[in-house]
Amino acid sequence: MIYIDTHSTDPAFHFALEEYFCTQKELGDTIFLLWQTKPTVMLGNFQNSYNELNREAIERDGVQVVRRNTGGGTIYTDEGSFQYSFLMKHVSQMIDFGRYMDPIIAALGELKVDACYNSRNDLAIAGKKISGNAQCTKGAYTIHHGSLLYQTDFAKMASYLRPPKYKIESKGIQSVRDRTTNIYDHVENNWPTKVFKEKFLQAILRQGTELYQLTDSDRAAIEHLADDKFRTWEWTFGKNPSCTIEKGKKYQGGYLSFALTVKQGLITECHVTGDFFSAYDIHELEQALLQQPLDDSQQLAKVLKQPKFQHFLYQISPEDILDCLIG
């Protein structure tokens, strides 16, 4: 096995690195990564961001949003959590989580942390989730990555994510905090994050593991892929499936509601309704929003800053309109 320490907290860089070593440069053995991120929300490949994210809170706090190659659900990661990746030259028609999750369970066991399977792709301690996993094939390789909640900020996690109702209802629970736990609370000595990383690596890296240092050429190619794919609006939000969205809020000037059809991230139909007052033709606002990206608040703000929209709705400001659209 080969271990790569990237010395990066950029999730887009890591997803690009995974793809790079699967499609552009082979190292000849399974690659293992253990990495951390700045506050980030990671979308599964097939997810609709409109259903998963609290965009208002995410934009307020400057949280990064990225979409990964693998499926599965949306997760929140920060400096208190870890991500691990296995890149194995192996392609199967069947998703196989066990061969990658078993070493994680074993390594945690060496640290006297009693983790076990909790569902198809989760690990848990005493029934509470500590790890979610996802997997896909890329070229001749399987990419498997997962999370490890160590000292994750669950309050922020709850504010940024909108778990599907079926997940909450099926588990009979009411909050993110109720169904997750931090590994930190289950280790004997409450190790700092840095110490846990060192001990976990000692437990999982087999004797004979090779350490690989990224070359300047590697980094340049990875950064190029990250810029072309994982950092783009088209990949992160343009992959959202076509959908119809209704948004509405009460403001000082009355109730404002939008009925939107969104295709490839762009507003293709827009209908504005409510009990507000306006001396203008509401069709002008609807037309101005067509072909605008719903997930780009800066672009929407630019449209709404046009002089004609400054007093378009009585006692409802352009900032209120933007809040209704992205909230």
Same domain assignment for residues 251 and 171:
no
Cβ proximity of 68 and 45 under 8 Å: yes
Same domain assignment for residues 132 and 220:
yes
Same domain assignment for residues 253 and 270:
yes
Which pLDDT value is given to residue 93? Answer: 63
Tell me how many domains the chain contains: 2
The mean of the pLDDT values for the chain is: 90
Assign 26 to helix, strand or coil. coil
Same domain assignment for residues 25 and 151:
yes
Of the candidates 46, 44, 45, 65, the residue with the CA atom closest to the CA atom of residue 54: 65
Cα distances from 173 to residues 53, 113, 127, 128, 129, in angstroms, run 20, 24, 12, 11, 13
Same domain assignment for residues 255 and 227:
no
Place of tokens 């190659």: 69
Where is the domain boundary, 211, 236, 261? 236
Which helix (H) or strand (E) segment is 221 a member of? Answer: helix 216-225
Where is the domain boundary, 207, 236, 265? 236
Helix, strand and coil content of the chain, in percent to the nearest 5, comes to 35, 25, 35
Same domain assignment for residues 179 and 54:
yes
Same domain assignment for residues 41 and 127:
yes
- Any idea what the CATH number is for the domain that residue 22 is in? 3.30.930.10
Residue type at 307?
P
Domain with 284, as residue range(s), is 243-326
269-319 pLDDT, tens digit per residue, is: 999 988 888 878 899 999 999 999 998 999 999 999 999 999 999 899 999
19-52 pLDDT, tens digit per residue, is: 999 999 999 899 999 999 999 999 988 788 877 8
Res 132 pLDDT > 80: yes
Q: What percent of the chain has pLDDT over 90?
A: 66
Of the candidates 155, 174, 165, 184, the residue with the CA atom closest to the CA atom of residue 61: 155
Confidence of residue 175 (pLDDT cuts 50, 70, 90): low
Res 165 pLDDT > 60: no
Which pLDDT value is given to residue 171? Answer: 47
- Any idea what the CATH number is for the domain that residue 283 is in? 3.30.390.50
Q: What is the DSSP string of 186-214?
A: GSTT---HHHHHHHHHHHHSPTTPEE-PP
Same domain assignment for residues 257 and 224:
no
Place of tokens 């693998």: 70
Which of these ranges, 180-184, 221-225, 276-280, has the smallest mean pLDDT? 276-280
